[in-house]
Structure 1
Amino acid sequence: MSLPDPGVLDAVRRRRGDLDDALLIVRDGLVADQAGPRRVAALCAGLRQLRADLYEHVAATEGPGGLYEEVRHADPRFGPAVWRLRGEHARLGVLLDDLVAGIAQGAQDTGGWPALRPRVVELLALLGRHRSRDAQLAYDAVGLDLGGQG
């Protein structure tokens, strides 16, 4: 199989790095000792950034000429994996949209945060598994390590 366009791979790597940065903000906020207003504000900002970074990642992988299109066209056997990853993108996007909407409706105060916290933990777990499968697809398809923490 031929390697995808280097520009496509660079875009995917950049988006993966951006996701790593946003994930660190959210993870650090979850492990902080107290749910003070500054910590909750940082978590809110991290979730908003994570949502934006996920959408950019989706554009780089699913968009026209993106990694998934190139992988699927080069070897149709990867089609089911690509469709699964696309479905995961949709689910992750819905979870992030719901969390950000919950924050906008007042959960940014320390009293509302405990209800959202388990959903953030679920999101991080799903995102971690998705990133592993995404990296595995790239490695299987082109023998390429995308890097990042996922």
Structure 2
Amino acid sequence: MSLPDPGVLEAVRRRRGDLDDALLIVRDGLVAGPPGPRRLAALCAGLRQLRADLYEHVVATEGPDGLYDEVRRADPRFEPAVCRLRGEHARLGLLLDDVLAGIAHGPQGIAGWPALRPRVLELLTLVGHHRSRDAQLAYDAGGLDLGGQG
């Protein structure tokens, strides 16, 4: 199998690093100090950054001549994995939007924290699993190491 275009790989690696940074901000927002307005603001900022970085990741992987198209063209056997990853992108985006909407319209501060925290933890878990499957696809398709932490 031919390796994907180096420009495509660099874009995917860069977006992966951006996702790593946003995930750290969100994790810090979950554990940094007692629940309250400052912590909620930090968490919201991290979630908004994660949403923007997820969008860029989707563009780099699903866009025209993105990683998924190159992998699929090089070996059609990867079509099911590519379809699954694309579906995960949609679900992650919807979950992120739902969490952000809940923060914007739900109870602020300590009152809303018990409902918010498990949803954010679920989101972090799902993003982590997606990143692992994404990296596995790249590795299986061409022995490519995308880097990052998952």
Pairwise TM-score range, normalised by the shorter structure: over 0.9
Unaligned runs of 5+ in 2: none
- Give the superposition deviation at 1:30: 1.4
Name the SS of the counterpart of 1:110 in structure 2.
helix
CA contact (8 A) 2:33 2:39 kept: no
User: Where does residue 81 of structure 2 map in the other structure?
Assistant: 81
Unaligned runs of 5+ in 1: none
Query: What is the alpha-carbon distance in structure 2 between the residues aligned to residue 82 and residue 57 of structure 1?
Result: 14
User: Where does residue 44 of structure 1 map in the other structure?
Assistant: 44
Q: Is structure 2 residue 18 aligned with structure 1 residue 18?
A: yes
- Deviation per residue, 1:103-142 (Å, 9 max, x gap): 2214443322321111111011111111000000001101
Q: Is structure 2 residue 32 aligned with structure 1 residue 32?
A: yes
User: Where does residue 109 of structure 1 map in the other structure?
Assistant: 109
- Give the superposition deviation at 1:70: 0.3
CA contact (8 A) 2:59 2:66 kept: yes
User: Where does residue 9 of structure 1 map in the other structure?
Assistant: 9
Distance 1:66 1:99, change over 3 A: same
- Deviation per residue, 1:33-85 (Å, 9 max, x gap): 41122111100100010011001100100010000000000000100000000
User: Where does residue 94 of structure 1 map in the other structure?
Assistant: 94
Query: What is the alpha-carbon distance in structure 2 between the residues aligned to residue 44 and residue 113 of structure 1?
Result: 12
Name the SS of the counterpart of 2:3 in structure 1.
coil
Percent of aligned positions that are identical? 84
Counterpart of 1:77, as a letter, is R
Distance 1:103 1:4, change over 3 A: same
Q: What root-mean-square deviation, in Å, do the aligned CA atoms of Structure 1 and Structure 2 show?
A: 1.1
Distance 1:9 1:110, change over 3 A: same
Name the SS of the counterpart of 1:112 in structure 2.
helix
Distance 1:5 1:136, change over 3 A: same
- Give the superposition deviation at 1:32: 2.7
TM-score after normalising by structure 1? 0.96
User: Which residues in structure 2 correspond to 1:134-149 (within 5 Å)?
Assistant: 134-149=134-149
User: Where does residue 133 of structure 1 map in the other structure?
Assistant: 133
